[in-house]
Amino acid sequence: MKPVVELKNLSKTIRSKKIIDNLNLSLYPGQITGFLGPNGAGKTTTIRMMVGLMKQTGGDIVIEGVSLRDDFEEGLSKVGVIVENPEMYKFMSGYKNLVHFARMHNGVTKERIDEVVRQVGMQNRIHEKVGTYSLGMRQRLGLAQALLHRPKFLILDEPTNGLDPAGIREFRQYLRKIAETEGVSVFVSSHMLSEIELMCDRIAIIQNGKLIDIREMSETRESFYYIEASPAEKAKQLLLDGGFTVEAFKDGMLVNAEQHQIPGLVESFIAEGLQVYAVQPHRKTLEDEFLEMTGGGQIAEAYAK
């Protein structure tokens, strides 16, 4: 599959400090990619370069075969952007806002405006003033505005910040539908790891300006079991002697074991006189894995200094 976007050895140096260090990443049509990293990792700097708000020091950004170095305007014409809490004219209706933004692009017809209104489910409220909209409705209108010119690449920076659970779920459903039906490549930066886990097809993790991991969300994760037994130290030693990896977790341990190994483990515990209080499957969350990979760095969005 041919990528929609390619970051090629992308670098940024500010005051002799390397903020982004030879970043290479390909983004594909119909796929939602989450972009994660601790505070100061370089997420915002990367996004600023991708939308033309900051010039790269080295490397290139190629969007649908067009280099931003060679043809900046043509490359950016293929991009739609939603930044946290999109700004709209509150004294105007949602529809008039879309008409206003449509004038910034060539070839956006009334039919296209009506189409994006339907795509984001705004038909019933589109002619009301934006000042009467909830935050969730403003986010949907922002999504409609970003889609007006049929971009093949959509960048979202904290798109669900401030939304309630129902609004987050609704926004996620619209986004998935657009990615699948329009073939848009979506790039999402967020500190809400539980939402990234539900929304994205894959994730890219950046730390200290370097890409440290790219993985598909569908990849099979390691099998863990939570085991609570007493005496705890004796239980831990039995597991270690059996070649298992053991991590402290809550009042017990996380053991890297397969389902078929569990009956034998329980039998060995009982044979050694241990008391077993709990044995249950445990799936590591994206948050668990993120903290392991980054050494526990904070995940809230921040501008790289």
Reported as half-sphere exposure (CB side, CA atoms, 13 A), residue 61 has a value of: 23
What letters, b where the CB count within 10 A reaches 16 and e where it falls short, cover 251-277? ebbbbebeeeebeebeeebeeeebeee
Question: Where do the domains of the chain lie, and which CATH numbers do they carry?
Answer: 5-216 (3.40.50.300), 224-283 (3.30.70)
Q: What is the DSSP letter of 31?
A: -
Is-contact 171 163, C-beta < 8 A? yes
What is the spatial distance between Cα 148 and Cα 92, in angstroms, rounded to a whole number? 18
Residues 10-51 pLDDT 10s? 999 998 889 999 999 999 999 999 998 888 888 989 999 998
**pLDDT for res 304:** 35
Distance in angstroms (rounded) separating the CA atoms of residues 60 and 7: 6
Per-residue pLDDT for the chain (305 aa), expressed as one digit of tens each?
899 999 999 999 998 889 999 999 999 999 999 998 888 888 989 999 998 888 999 999 999 999 998 898 888 888 998 876 678 899 999 999 999 999 988 889 999 999 999 988 899 999 999 999 988 889 889 989 999 999 999 999 888 877 888 888 888 888 898 899 889 999 998 887 888 888 899 999 999 999 988 888 876 566 789 999 999 999 999 999 999 999 888 899 999 888 899 999 999 999 999 999 999 988 777 777 777 777 765 443 333 33
pTM of the model: 0.76
Q: What is the DSSP letter of 219?
A: S
pLDDT tens, position by position, 191-217: 878 888 888 999 999 999 999 888 888
Which residue bears the tokens 């809400």?
192
